[in-house]
Chains A and B, each alone.
Chain A
Amino acid sequence: MASSLAGSERAFYDLVRRYERPVYALVVRMVRGPALAEDLAQEVFVKAYRALASYDPARKFSSWLFKIAHNTALDHLRRQELDTVPLEAGVEDRRDWAEVLIDPAAANPEAAAGRRDLARALERAVGRLRPEYRAAVLLRFQEGLSYQEIAETLDQPLGTIKTNLHRARKALAVLMAEAGWSPPGETGRGAGA
């Protein structure tokens, strides 16, 4: 961190390499546009670089960085009023997502396709949540942050985070059911044996 503060390109490169995926994954799922997310993720790191001097080492670096990423994505959503996404993504959007999603665990093409379908359905469902729910869900389930870390990142009370996550989970389940993914014992794509 000290060498990054000193302005070493190599050190900052290592820092970007370490955090590019989580930052990009958070931003892309917040704004739901791979090309746009690339610009915004870049903006996140530029802002972080410029604000490195104000970073408090007592805080967790990832939380600080996620906070910048979340604020940047939220600023964009406010500017563009892109608070929701269309129910059906266009062909181009699907192609872009296919390029963005990496699946090293794909055992066979059929399984990979199934996983991609499920991933897209979940992307859409997450994209339809309110931005504050969306951010909490992504930080919790995608990045594995604790409730306390999410509260610090989003500048919200711990109780609010717990409530938001609970409601967001329930809302996600409803949205997935609406998309045809149902729990066992009910009809739907996920109900098959």
Chain B
Amino acid sequence: MRAKSEDTLRRWLAAERDDDAEAAEAALAALFAQLPAAAPPLGFAARVASLCVAGAAAPASVGAPAGIGAAAPARARGPLATLWGRLLLGLALAGAGVAVPFVPALLRELFGGLDAAALLGAVPGLLAAACGHLVGALEGLLTLLDLAGALAAPFRSPAIAAGLLGSLLLGAAAFVLLNRLIGTDRSWSHGHVHG
């Protein structure tokens, strides 16, 4: 016994052959209705709804890039999530374990002969050295500002500024044009049935 859907298929194909558009439309619609429908897996709606509502807490825009990775809330990745992180932590722990027996001797070596009075006496010298470094850094910053001013000087001329602006606009226009050309060039016609 032939299935009902096959009868509908025959009806549709016959209508197409006879150029009966109305009958062909009706038969094809009936055929789609008779065939098994595609359905998402169980739990799809719950998953999507919770994802959407959870994701809504994070700032997002409608024009977000396609791909669920962009839409889904980012999963927090701790430092131990990677193999390197775990390896580094393991090495650090092993190193600390090996070093433990040597810690008392090391402390004695470092601070054994330390004198509090000598330590206090060294503070003004350390402060003076820090101030010296700060002044040096400020001088460096001022030099950089002078350099930036010297580089910007030509652009204060209206002709040069206009030229630069023109070049930028031309570049942007060329980019947009190229982008459109590339977009149009990606034709859908290859390998398709045109009817």
- Contact surface of A with B, Cβ cutoff 8 Å: 7, 9-10, 12-13, 16-17, 20-21, 24-25, 28-29, 34, 37-39, 41-43, 45-47, 49-51, 54, 72, 75-76, 78-79, 81, 83-84, 100-103, 105, 111, 114-116, 118-119, 122, 128-133, 140-142, 144, 166-177, 181-184, 190-193
Contacts and interface: CB of A to CB of B under 8 A. Distances in A.
A184 B24 CA distance: 14
Interface string B33-48: 0111111110011111
Given A132-B188, A168-B195, A13 B25 contact: no
Which of B32, B40, B51, B53 has the largest count of A CB atoms less than 10 A from its CB? B40
Tell me if A's interface is mostly helix, strand, loop or mixed.
Answer: helix
17 contacts: A20-B39, A21-B38, A42-B47, A47-B62, A49-B53, A50-B52, A50-B61, A83-B188, A101-B39, A114-B3, A115-B3, A118-B35, A133-B195, A141-B29, A142-B32, A169-B24, A176-B13
Contact of B16 (A24, A122, A128, A169): A169
Interface string B151-192: 000000000000000000000000000000000001011111
A141 B194 contact: no
A25 B37 CA distance: 7
Interface residues of B, number: 57
Contacts of A192: 2
Given A38-B44, A49-B52, A29 B13 contact: no
Contacts of B17: 173, 183
Contact of A183 (B16, B32, B64, B193): B16
Nearest to B62: A51
Given A9-B53, A21-B40, 17 more contacts: A9-B50, A25-B38, A29-B38, A37-B38, A41-B40, A41-B44, A46-B48, A49-B52, A83-B190, A101-B37, A118-B5, A119-B36, A130-B188, A130-B189, A169-B16, A176-B13, A190-B6
Interface string B78-114: 0000000000000000000000000000000000000
Tell me if B's interface is mostly helix, strand, loop or mixed.
Answer: helix
Contact of A173 (B5, B12, B35, B60): B12
A168 B12 CA distance: 13
Given A50-B62, A169-B25, A13 B14 contact: no
B191 A83 contact: yes
B67 A21 contact: no
B141 interface: no
A50 B64 CA distance: 9
Contact of A38 (B10, B31, B41, B62): B41
B45 A181 contact: no
A16 B35 contact: no
A5 to B, nearest CB: 11
B106 to A, nearest CB: 56
Contacts of A17: 45
Give 10 closest A-B pairs by Cβ, nearest first.
A167-B195, A183-B13, A171-B195, A13-B49, A103-B36, A101-B36, A46-B71, A49-B52, A173-B16, A9-B53
Contacts of A78: 186
